[in-house]
């Protein structure tokens, strides 16, 4: 019985951390992707994907009999999550540390929770700062718009 995608099953219950909730639209009902397929799908370059693996951010990807990488849906989930973390501004080194915790299994749940709570806090702070910025931008945009509509008022 092969995994056919559709709903996020995550059959091996060993470590459900990787399933990122409502999955992104998968290419199709398969489970083995070449590096260029993954590159197109994630927006990352093939070189970057290899580099991720090299530094330990992308844990060991399966290989074909000729040594080429074959990514599966779990890998895609992990990359989607990494993309989210990247969005938060988390340094790559920290993501690698998190990846190591995931690799070490259930024993690190607590530590992982702590890290994500810290990250959550930072993200919330960042959102607030950006909303502040939005207000400043709006004020300036309004100023410019007003100045253009009433240009002769010296």
Partner DNA sequence: TAGAACCTTCAAGTGCACTTGAGGCAAGTG
Partner DNA sequence: CACTTGCCTCAAGTGCACTTGAAGGTTCTA
Binding site for a second copy (CB under 8 A): 16-17, 20-21, 81, 84-85, 87-88, 106, 109-110, 112-113, 116-117, 119-120, 123-124, 126-127, 129-141, 143-145, 147-148
Q: In whole angstroms, how close is the CB of 147 to a second copy at the nearest point?
A: 5
Q: Examine residue 17 and tell whether it contacts DNA (CB under 7 A).
A: no
b/e per residue, 51-62, with b = 16+ CB within 10 A? Answer: ebbeebbbeebe
Residue pair 73/33 in contact (Cβ under 8 Å)? The answer is no
Alpha-carbon span 49 to 15, nearest angstrom: 22
CA atoms within 13 A on the CB side of 136: 6
Residue pair 49/58 in contact (Cβ under 8 Å)? The answer is yes
Q: In whole angstroms, how close is the CB of 28 to a second copy at the nearest point?
A: 24
Q: Examine residue 149 and tell whether it contacts DNA (CB under 7 A).
A: no
Q: Examine residue 50 and tell whether it contacts DNA (CB under 7 A).
A: yes
The distance of Cα 86 from the centroid of its chain, to the nearest Å, equals 6
Q: In whole angstroms, how close is the CB of 140 to a second copy at the nearest point?
A: 6
- What is the tally of helices (H) and strands (E) in the chain? 5, 2
Q: In whole angstroms, how close is the CB of 154 to a second copy at the nearest point?
A: 8
| Dihedral angle over CA of 28, 34, 56, 101, nearest 10 | 20
Q: In whole angstroms, how close is the CB of 34 to a second copy at the nearest point?
A: 27
Task: Annotate each residue in 55-94 with x if it binds DNA (CB under 7 A) or - if it does not, as one string.
Answer: ---------xxxxxx----------------x----xxx-
| Contacting residues toward DNA, per CB under 7 A | 34-37, 44-48, 50-51, 64-69, 86, 91-93
């Amino acid at each position: 019985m092969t995994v056919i995608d559709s709903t996020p099953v995550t059959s091996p219950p060993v470590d459900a951390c990787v399933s990122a909730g409502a999955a992104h639209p998968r290419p199709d009902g398969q489970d083995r992707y070449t590096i260029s397929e993954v590159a197109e799908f994630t927006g990352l370059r093939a070189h970057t994907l290899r580099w991720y693996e090299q530094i330990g951010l992308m844990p060991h990807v399966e290989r074909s009999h000729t040594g080429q990488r074959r990514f599966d849906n779990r890998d895609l989930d992990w990359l989607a999550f990494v993309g989210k973390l990247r969005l938060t501004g988390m340094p790559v080194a920290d993501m690698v540390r998190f990846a190591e915790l995931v690799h070490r299994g259930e024993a690190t749940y607590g530590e992982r929770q702590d890290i994500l709570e810290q990250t959550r806090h930072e993200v919330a702070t960042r959102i607030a700062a950006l909303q502040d910025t939005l207000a400043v931008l709006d004020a300036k945009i309004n100023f410019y718009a007003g100045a253009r509509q009433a240009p002769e008022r010296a």
